[in-house]
Structure 1
């Protein structure tokens, strides 16, 4: 125990502190007991309705870099590497989302972020991590042309439903390190076993939230929302899909969701439209058209015209070779395509112009307090014009009160969805009958 302690002390002393230039980002130095400010930051995020993700960046060849550097320059190398992290994170991450950036226990650079189901996707995290690591590697080579840092990254969400926030942070940190080090499945963490069990048992629950016709207040469609096993770490869709993606089982998980959707549509004899999220990665899988055709044959009587695939605008479609082709095939089969989270993602209006969706779903960040913000209403009007040019219907998401709903009415928005109309319900078959 004493040797391990001294090793940790030496590692921490070597890395030292990371000071961010952003005054709004709090830095907590490495230590052996989590300080209250860090726990308070995570607690505050939970109370505000956010999730918290721990991202670990490990320099796999750190020792090699040190050995290649003269002894009197090693301290400067470490300072430059840390400075690159603080600069790049400041450039790539919204400071309001950062809880802390530090070298926790000397095991790599750790970034704790607040994330929101409605404003983030797993692709966001992956893209952000990729940008940070690539930028750091590129800038480091400019400083040290003969050296190249190999950065590995992993992430895990902090479990909310536990008696100890401290233990949850430590566990998430440990899991993230496992992901970063790409250990064998049996060694990563119990999350891998959990996701395997969920997929093998098809242990997915679907909630349903109605989509309302703004002019008549009638239900026009339903959006199905995925959840993992109730009361478990993977109940949260962010955690569920992040683990599936990092362990290479995302496509299998999404196909289970689609099968569950068809099961419930058939069991309920629902004749209204049904919306279901699907990542561009899965939609771009070469197997997707044939697999969805097989599911339709298994659950005969369901028309593809009844199903709308929601493509999250925050998810990048760049570089997905089969995505555009698959979208065309799905449309020929009769499926409709929606672009989700419009106004919140990185891809902006380019996704709409490329997909030309049947439906544009406006992100709740634009709708929130729109009755008190004339700029937001002007942005809404602009998106309505875009939708008209594209021939798309518009769904406004996240309606929480009557005042927001009235803004939609006076702007002739087609459809709306949110807790003001109805909260997601546990049993889709009970709602749809």
Structure 2
């Protein structure tokens, strides 16, 4: 009977080879004919999306196996079911590529990220919610030992010549982050980020922000790239790894330093937008470090600099954030809030800090000329901005039709490929 059951299980697993991808999202077998992870990642890339891989590793799996004995396989099966439940609760089904159990002590979740500017903090938040939900259910089971689970994530390299290798590399890196210091891969990532910070090996690109009424350049947003030709060239990869290896503050301060140098080098007179996470802006070191850097770099008027609050970290949990924002304002710097319209967190941030500039997320702007509901959303956000006394920047404008909607609604500022792609500040400033 047991032999027949094993044969039946094997046939069921192999039968999945012929099922559509939607039927093999959860714990697929190791395929030879086709790989649902590679297929799903490839489809996401074809749609212009990013893919994040999240790893969950049970550190005390050997202890669990010893304590549970013959019940350990059943315990693992229940744990996998609890994770599947938690993933379904937190991630939209269309964005779930595969939840996989490559090893008995770890799970990897591949998710489709629709917007290339999707916030790293939002993915980190979902990752933690999934873990919390799963642990609550797991710890409710009768077990003498609770699992010790850690997690990490990485974005899969879209520019790799082989999707299969990119998937494998991404999985290994995510597992290394979740396993932390015990893994050589994690130590290598720490080394690479520390080397970038030590050598200040980043590039800055600039994208113009246009006055909608006059069509003239009002400001420039500075965009960061890692070392060219490496896996950390992508800002998504660079900042997600920096965040998880305790290098985020140092990296963002290098961005500030290089931006100030670019302003002086090019003698730029327009406003400059610099992206910062709430974690860095809320650091007790930030204001003092920024003042010291500004004094070293020369006479750059604070009013020329706009600190753009990116990501969706909860500012209520960052002790010095509101105080630092007030200090920056007192000194003459301006504050912008990014991704407005993409979720509650950005609207909550507006009410907390009353920014000088509100940037409306691409998700509101895309195809706005064909969607009256989106135009109504834009009008509502414009009312919020007027009430807060804020200028409005519409992001991600890609065609004349979208730009025309901004004109008739009297949006202040806009940026996107319709106006110009990112480039070097000195080249663009001379145009």
TM-score (norm 1): 0.90
Deviation at 1:185, TM superposition (A): 7.8
The within-5 A match list for 1:321-336 is 321-336=319-334
* In the alignment, structure 1 residue 245 sits paired with structure 2 residue 220: no
Task: Give the whole-Å Cα distance in 2 for the aligned partners of 1:429 and 1:177.
Answer: 41
The within-5 A match list for 1:355-366 is 355-366=353-364
Deviation at 1:116, TM superposition (A): 5.0
Q: Sort the Cα spacing of 1:210 and 1:247 in 2 relative to 1 into closer, same or farther, 3 A.
A: same
Deviation at 1:133, TM superposition (A): 1.1
Q: What residue in structure 1 maps to residue 6 of structure 2?
A: none
Q: What residue in structure 2 maps to residue 98 of structure 1?
A: 96
Q: What residue in structure 1 maps to residue 316 of structure 2?
A: 318
Q: What residue in structure 1 maps to residue 54 of structure 2?
A: 55
Task: Give the whole-Å Cα distance in 1 for the aligned partners of 2:167 and 2:344.
Answer: 29
8 Å contact kept, 1:304–1:333: yes
Deviation at 1:165, TM superposition (A): 1.6
Q: What residue in structure 2 maps to residue 132 of structure 1?
A: 130
Task: Give the whole-Å Cα distance in 2 for the aligned partners of 1:187 and 1:422.
Answer: 38
Q: Sort the Cα spacing of 1:277 and 1:333 in 2 relative to 1 into closer, same or farther, 3 A.
A: same
Q: How big is each residue's C-alpha offset from its partner over 1:228-287, in whole Å with a ceiling of 9 and x where there is no partner?
A: 011111110000011111111111000000001000011111111011110000001111
User: Gaps spanning 5+ residues in structure 1: where?
Assistant: 1-12
Q: What residue in structure 2 maps to residue 3 of structure 1?
A: none
Counting matched residue pairs gives 414
Task: Give the whole-Å Cα distance in 2 for the aligned partners of 1:303 and 1:183.
Answer: 43
Deviation at 1:294, TM superposition (A): 1.0
- Structure 1 residue matching 2:161: 3-state secondary structure: coil
Task: Give the whole-Å Cα distance in 2 for the aligned partners of 1:401 and 1:235.
Answer: 27
Q: What residue in structure 1 maps to residue 340 of structure 2?
A: 342
Aligned with residue 213 of structure 2, among 207, 212, 215: 215
Task: Give the whole-Å Cα distance in 2 for the aligned partners of 1:88 and 1:326.
Answer: 36
The within-5 A match list for 1:30-429 is 30-31=29-30, 35-69=34-68, 71=70, 73-116=71-114, 118-144=116-142, 147-183=145-181, 188=186, 190-312=188-310, 314-425=312-423, 427-429=424-426
Q: How big is each residue's C-alpha offset from its partner over 1:101-160, in whole Å with a ceiling of 9 and x where there is no partner?
A: 111244511101122554412211221111111121122223337542211112222222
Task: Give the whole-Å Cα distance in 1 for the aligned partners of 2:121 and 2:133.
Answer: 18
Deviation at 1:193, TM superposition (A): 2.4
User: Gaps spanning 5+ residues in structure 2: where?
Assistant: 1-9
8 Å contact kept, 1:313–1:351: no
User: Which 10-residue stretch deviates more, 245-254 or 136-145?
Assistant: 136-145
Q: How big is each residue's C-alpha offset from its partner over 1:325-347, in whole Å with a ceiling of 9 and x where there is no partner?
A: 11111111111111100111451
Task: Give the whole-Å Cα distance in 2 for the aligned partners of 1:43 and 1:23.
Answer: 14
Deviation at 1:174, TM superposition (A): 1.3
Q: How big is each residue's C-alpha offset from its partner over 1:166-192, in whole Å with a ceiling of 9 and x where there is no partner?
A: 122112111111111112585525332
User: Which 10-residue stretch deviates more, 218-227 or 153-162?
Assistant: 153-162
Deviation at 1:296, TM superposition (A): 0.9
* In the alignment, structure 1 residue 431 sits paired with structure 2 residue 431: no
8 Å contact kept, 1:265–1:429: no
- Structure 1 residue matching 2:79: 3-state secondary structure: helix
8 Å contact kept, 1:277–1:309: yes
8 Å contact kept, 1:119–1:344: no
- Structure 2 residue matching 1:309: 3-state secondary structure: strand
Q: How big is each residue's C-alpha offset from its partner over 1:178-217, in whole Å with a ceiling of 9 and x where there is no partner?
A: 1111125855253322212211111111111110111111
Q: Sort the Cα spacing of 1:120 and 1:173 in 2 relative to 1 into closer, same or farther, 3 A.
A: same
Q: Sort the Cα spacing of 1:162 and 1:70 in 2 relative to 1 into closer, same or farther, 3 A.
A: closer
- Structure 2 residue matching 1:222: 3-state secondary structure: strand
Q: How big is each residue's C-alpha offset from its partner over 1:303-330, in whole Å with a ceiling of 9 and x where there is no partner?
A: 1100111112523223101111111111
